Chain A
Amino acid sequence: MEVRVQNIRKEFGRYPALEDVSLDIRSGELVALLGPSGSGKTTLLRLIAGLESPTEGTIFFGDEDASKKSVQQRNIGFVFQHYALFRHMTVLDNVSFGLNVRPANRRPQAAEIRRRALDLLELVQLSGLEKRYPAQLSGGQRQRVALARAMAVEPNVLLLDEPFGALDAQVRKELRKWLREIHDRTGHTTVFVTHDQEEALELADRVVVMSKGAIEQVGTPDDIYDHPVSPFVYGFIGQSNCLDVTLSRGEIWFEDRPIGLRAASEPDGPATLYFRPHDIELVDGCGCLAGLVTAGRRVAGTRHLEVSLGRTQPPVEIELPPERASSTDHSRVAFRPTRWKLYRGAGDVARGSVQAQSSGIELAPTGT
Chain B
Amino acid sequence: MALDIGPTPTSAPSTPVGAATSETRLARATLIALALGFVGLFLLLPLGTVFIEAFRKGAGEFLAALGDPETFSAILLTLTVAGIAVPLNLVFGVAAAWAIAKFEFKGKAFLTTLIDLPFSVSPVISGLVFVLLFGANSALGPILQSYGVQILFAVPGLVLATVFVTFPFVARELIPLMQEQGTSDEEAARSLGATGWQTFWHVTLPNIKWGLLYGVLLCNARAMGEFGAVSVVSGHIRGETNTMPLQVEILYNEYNFVAAFAVAALLALLALATLVLKTALELRYSDEIAASRRH
Binding site for B on A (CB under 8 A): 49-51, 70-72, 75-78, 80, 82-89, 97-98, 101-102, 133-135, 149-150, 152-153
In contact, B192 and A51 (Cβ under 8 angstroms): no
B203 at the interface (CB under 8 A from A): yes
Residues of A within 8 A of B195 (CB): 72, 101
Interface of B is mostly: helix
Sorted nearest first, the 8 A-B pairs with minimum C-beta distance are A98-B192, A84-B184, A84-B188, A135-B291, A78-B191, A101-B194, A88-B206, A101-B198
Residues of B within 8 A of A89 (CB): 206
Contacts A84-B188, A135-B291 known; A101 to B193 CB distance under 8 Å? yes
Residues of A within 8 A of B207 (CB): 87-88
Residues of A within 8 A of B292 (CB): 87-88
B202 at the interface (CB under 8 A from A): yes
Tell me the bound Cα distance from A84 to B207 in angstroms: 12
Residue in contact with B188 in the complex, picked from A50, A75, A80, A133, CB distance below 8 Å = A80
Q: Which residue of B lies closest to A75 (CB)?
A: B193
Tell me the bound Cα distance from A288 to B187 in angstroms: 57
Residues of B within 8 A of A72 (CB): 190-191, 193-195
Contacts A101-B198, A135-B291 known; A82 to B190 CB distance under 8 Å? no
Within the complex, what minimum Cβ distance (angstroms) separates A137 from chain B?
A: 10
Within the complex, what minimum Cβ distance (angstroms) separates A118 from chain B?
A: 18
In contact, A97 and B191 (Cβ under 8 angstroms): no
15 more A-B residue pairs beyond the given contacts A50-B191, A72-B193, with a C-beta to C-beta distance below 8 A:
A71-B187, A72-B191, A76-B191, A80-B188, A84-B188, A85-B188, A86-B202, A88-B291, A97-B194, A97-B202, A135-B291, A135-B294, A149-B192, A150-B192, A153-B193
Which residues between 236 and 295 of chain B lie within 8 Å of chain A, taking CB atoms?
288, 291-292, 294-295
**A-facing mask of B168-193, CB < 8 A → 1, else 0?**
00000000000000001101111111
Contacts A101-B202, A135-B291 known; A84 to B187 CB distance under 8 Å? yes
Within the complex, what minimum Cβ distance (angstroms) separates A229 from chain B?
A: 34
In contact, A80 and B202 (Cβ under 8 angstroms): no
Contacts A80-B184, A97-B202, A101-B202 known; A87 to B191 CB distance under 8 Å? no
For B184, B207, B291, B294, the residue with the greatest tally of chain A CB atoms inside 10 Å of its CB is B184
Tell me the bound Cα distance from A76 to B185 in angstroms: 15
In contact, B192 and A82 (Cβ under 8 angstroms): no
Residue in contact with A134 in the complex, picked from B184, B190, B295, CB distance below 8 Å = B295
Residues of B within 8 A of A98 (CB): 192-194
Tell me the bound Cα distance from A16 to B253 in angstroms: 69
Tell me the bound Cα distance from A361 to B292 in angstroms: 67
In contact, B295 and A49 (Cβ under 8 angstroms): no
Count residues of B near A (Cβ-Cβ below 8 Å). 21
For A51, A72, A76, A89, the residue with the greatest tally of chain B CB atoms inside 10 Å of its CB is A72
Binding site for A on B (CB under 8 A): 184-185, 187-195, 198, 202-203, 206-207, 288, 291-292, 294-295
What would 24 A/B residue contacts be, using CB atoms closer than 8 Å?
Answer: A51-B190, A71-B187, A71-B190, A72-B190, A72-B191, A72-B194, A78-B188, A78-B191, A82-B295, A84-B184, A84-B187, A85-B188, A87-B291, A88-B207, A97-B189, A97-B192, A97-B194, A98-B192, A101-B189, A101-B192, A101-B195, A150-B191, A150-B192, A153-B192
Residue in contact with B288 in the complex, picked from A76, A88, A153, CB distance below 8 Å = A88
Within the complex, what minimum Cβ distance (angstroms) separates B193 from chain A?
A: 5
Q: Which residue of B lies closest to A80 (CB)?
A: B184
Q: Which residue of A lies closest to B205 (CB)?
A: A88
Residues of B within 8 A of A152 (CB): 192
Residues of A within 8 A of B295 (CB): 82-83, 85, 87, 134-135
In contact, B193 and A102 (Cβ under 8 angstroms): yes
Within the complex, what minimum Cβ distance (angstroms) separates B295 from chain A?
A: 6
Tell me the bound Cα distance from A75 to B191 in angstroms: 7
Within the complex, what minimum Cβ distance (angstroms) separates B173 from chain A?
A: 18
Tell me the bound Cα distance from A77 to B192 in angstroms: 7
Residues of B within 8 A of A75 (CB): 193
Within the complex, what minimum Cβ distance (angstroms) separates A343 from chain B?
A: 40
Residues of A within 8 A of B191 (CB): 49-51, 71-72, 76-78, 150
Contacts A97-B192, A101-B202, A149-B192 known; A80 to B187 CB distance under 8 Å? yes
Within the complex, what minimum Cβ distance (angstroms) separates A21 from chain B?
A: 21
Q: Which residue of B lies closest to A77 (CB)?
A: B191
Contacts A133-B291, A134-B295, A135-B291 known; A86 to B193 CB distance under 8 Å? no
